[in-house]
Structure 1
Amino acid sequence: MSLVSALQIPYREARSGFWGEQTSTLNWCEEDYNISFYCAEVINTLTNLVFMYLGLKGLRNVFEFHHSRVFIPIFLGYIIVGLGSMAFHTTLKYEMQLADELPMIYTVCTMAFATFSYRRSTPVKVLIGAALFGLALFITVYYLYAKDPVFHQVAYGLLTATTIFRGFYVMEWDLRPAMKKRNPVNCDRYMKEMYKLAMTGILMFLAGFLLWNLDNIFCRHLTHTKRQILLPWAVILEGHGWWHILTGLGEIRSPCSSAFFLQPYGGSTDFPVLAMCASWDSGTLVREIESQAIAAQQQIGLVRTQLASKQREMRLAQLTRGEISTLPPDTAVYEGVGKMFVGLSVPTLQDKLSSEVTETETEIEALGKRLHYLETTAKNSQEHIEKMLKGSGQA
């Protein structure tokens, strides 16, 4: 007897369940009540826990790392979608189907608002919010009237695609120029990371969509195979369950990558919102932030040396100018130029020293700002690392 056959668990013979007959307009390839009397589709129900987990982790990160509050309704939407989908797949009732499908529309509309309202004035934000609210209301009313699942799927797909394309537009036309000015050295690396994050999410979403459709198309063959291999091995053939998992992991990268440009990038740290993704790739982010902190510390030492040198130059020029001012205007004075000395009048030398003092003061002010920026970057990076490690320890 093989290990596979030894661990096989048969399905329930009866197909009746606690919630009675199906009233939903959709049903999936997972056979109804084949595992539990109390849950119509156990696998499709349990795989929604990924939405619950990601939503809760996202909310915790918003408050822990002080991210924009626009993420709160997005992650709450994740939790509501997960709960609604669990209720739908547990009961296969039409009311629970609506609790699953309509929050999907509302959540993606919230994500669209966060993306389209970026750097907009308050009146424009209100207008965008009103337009998206009206769109969500129209989709809701029409769907309740038509009860056409294809309409819901098309509306959801178009909203998601529009939000993604808008995100790419903002990344290229708003974020990249700002980052070029803010941090030209690391700009390309940051953009590469964001694109990798976004593209990974898109590929996950498309993979889930493919498995969902294959589950529908080849349902009869898959059901036959599942009856042959039995539980727990048949679980891997539940395509709609994979849709839940891959969609959750894929779409979470949309607000995650949007976090880079939804926060004002003019902040005091080069990692304003990288920690938003800490739930899903904390090790990489800790290393990234740690390397940034080390680079900042190295730059701090260099800037402090330059600042001290400029302060000495300015002090010397001020002292020399003070001494020169006590001399009669016709006194012969000389300025060292290499190994030579050039004769100058007292007023000319005073003007030259005053100009040097002014230029040095400007350079000192710029170095002071640079030093403050680097010190703040190092401090904030260290705080992010501590919070992320603390959060990982509590998870």
Structure 2
Amino acid sequence: MEFFIPKMQVPYREARSGLWGNPTSTLNWCEEDYNITFYCAELVNTLTNLVFMYLGFKGLRNVFKYGHSKIFILAFLGYIVVGIGSMAFHSTLKYEMQLADELPMIYTVCIMAYATFSYNRPLKTQILIATGLVGLAAFITIYYLHAKDPVFHQVAYGLLTLSTIVRGFYVMYYKLKPALCKRNPVQGELILKQMWQLATSGIAMFLTGFFLWNLDNIFCKHITTTKQHLQLPWSVVLEGHGWWHILTGAGAYHLILWRLWSNKCLDGGEEEFVLDWVPMRTVPQVLVREIESQAIAAQQQIGLVRAHLASKQREMRLAQLTRSELSSLPPDTPVYEGVGKMCVFTLQSGTSICNLLLTLSLRFVGLPAPELQDKLGTQIKDIETETEALGKRLHYLETTAKNSQEHIEKMLKGGQA
């Protein structure tokens, strides 16, 4: 590795001018401006926001596909807008784009607060909560535009997030837990463990990202010196604010899914839906219990394909045996091929009655032995092609059934961990 790294080193740009001109934002991060490209002020901080795009559209697709509550359409749209705004901010370092990054964070957490505090409340209470949150978001926006104090924004965002999480835990333990344990105690315990893991994973990601972000701010001078020594591409791993984007993006997604899954279970949907997630290894998503259906359907198809495959194999063995027998005969030996059944009608007349007789008999046609051998050869090739296709189909179905079963077992183990 000592010999490999120097060969891969790429120096930073010496010029620090860029397409968007001098920064006008009230914040600037440890990543040096325009140090990689003329077109983007902070390339790493910009690209790390792609995690919001990927997870946001994934969540949005699942909301539409599985008919989750419409409030989560707004939540994931807000989540995506946060990522877009952050990309615009870090690529330009303009104050207007800074607002496009920071204010959607407030609005999105307000949406999640509404989803958490208004669930299963009377309509009047829901309207009151919505009005209060809209008013709070408006106040934060107006005050922040006037004060231009990033600390105020960070504190407001943190308090809103904290209150939403605390309320989520309260609902989980004092409302959801009794309901789940009443319906199915064993399943209820597994679901609660999953929810605990999902929530704590999201919180841990948030806190880790916040820790790395602060290290980036506090030790920026030393980190910058180290990055200049390492050079590209190795230095990008030291961009602490980029890690903040990745970890908070993943953490926020986990917390949105936690709220969504909680709502589903509060509605009694744990029999219809499942949390598809292996902690620290897969991206969580709430799905219809289609994995089990896939496994059952695959098992049914496996039986049919195996029967069809066995039939074709018998047919091929018969054709091969017939061809082998023909090859031992002299070429001029008279041979006959069965071509189906024939109905023969016979009219018999008597003195006063006419009888119509129906006779069913097999028909055979004489063929030269070489010609029949050629026909058998073609038939064998066709059967081999069909057998190969059936074998591939059987392998696919067996793999699907195996993967579905393993997936179910992983989810169960994940819930029991």
Shorter-chain TM-score above 0.5 = yes
2:244 aligned partner: 243
Indicate the structure with greater strand content.
2
1:193 aligned partner: 194
Q: Secondary structure at the match of 2:185?
A: coil
What displacement does 1:281 show? Answer: 3.2
Provide structure 2 residue ranges, at least 5 long, that are not aligned to the other structure.
296-400, 409-417
Structure 1 distance, partners of 2:5, 2:116, is 49
Q: Are the counterparts in 1 of residues 30 and 224 from structure 2 also a CA contact under 8 Å?
A: yes
Q: Are the counterparts in 2 of residues 59 and 75 from structure 1 also a CA contact under 8 Å?
A: yes
Q: Are the counterparts in 2 of residues 212 and 242 from structure 1 also a CA contact under 8 Å?
A: yes
What displacement does 1:272 show? Answer: 3.1
Provide structure 1 residue ranges, at least 5 long, that are not aligned to the other structure.
295-381, 390-395
CA separation of 1:192/1:271 partners in 2, compared to 1, >3 Å: closer, same or farther? farther
1:72 aligned partner: 73
1:48 aligned partner: 49
What displacement does 1:269 show? Answer: 4.8
Normalised by the length of structure 1, the TM-score is: 0.71
The higher radius of gyration belongs to 2
CA separation of 1:246/1:192 partners in 2, compared to 1, >3 Å: closer, same or farther? same
Q: Are the counterparts in 1 of residues 278 and 284 from structure 2 also a CA contact under 8 Å?
A: no
CA separation of 1:293/1:56 partners in 2, compared to 1, >3 Å: closer, same or farther? closer
Q: Secondary structure at the match of 2:206?
A: helix
Q: 255-264 or 52-61, which moves further after superposition?
A: 255-264
1:123 matched to 2:124? The reply is: yes
1:148 matched to 2:135? The reply is: no
Normalised by the length of structure 2, the TM-score is: 0.67
Q: Secondary structure at the match of 1:190?
A: helix
What displacement does 1:241 show? Answer: 0.1
Q: Are the counterparts in 2 of residues 65 and 275 from structure 1 also a CA contact under 8 Å?
A: no
Q: Secondary structure at the match of 1:189?
A: helix
What displacement does 1:119 show? Answer: 1.2
1:81 aligned partner: 82
Q: Are the counterparts in 2 of residues 275 and 285 from structure 1 also a CA contact under 8 Å?
A: yes
Structure 1 distance, partners of 2:233, 2:214, is 22
Identity %: 60
Structure 1 distance, partners of 2:201, 2:94, is 34
Q: Secondary structure at the match of 1:252?
A: helix
1:37 aligned partner: 38
Q: Secondary structure at the match of 1:185?
A: helix
CA separation of 1:284/1:159 partners in 2, compared to 1, >3 Å: closer, same or farther? closer
Structure 2 distance, partners of 1:153, 1:266, is 34
Q: Secondary structure at the match of 1:274?
A: strand
1:163 aligned partner: 164
Question: Deviations along 1:294-348, whole A, 9 cap, x unmatched?
Answer: 9xxxxxxxxxxxxxxxxxxxxxxxxxxxxxxxxxxxxxxxxxxxxxxxxxxxxxx
1:181 aligned partner: 182
Q: Are the counterparts in 1 of residues 113 and 164 from structure 2 also a CA contact under 8 Å?
A: yes
Q: Secondary structure at the match of 2:186?
A: coil
Structure 2 distance, partners of 1:265, 1:251, is 21
Counterpart of 1:219 in structure 2: which amino acid? C
Structure 2 distance, partners of 1:277, 1:68, is 24
Q: Secondary structure at the match of 2:273?
A: coil
- The count of residues paired between Structure 1 and Structure 2 equals 298
Structure 2 distance, partners of 1:281, 1:115, is 25
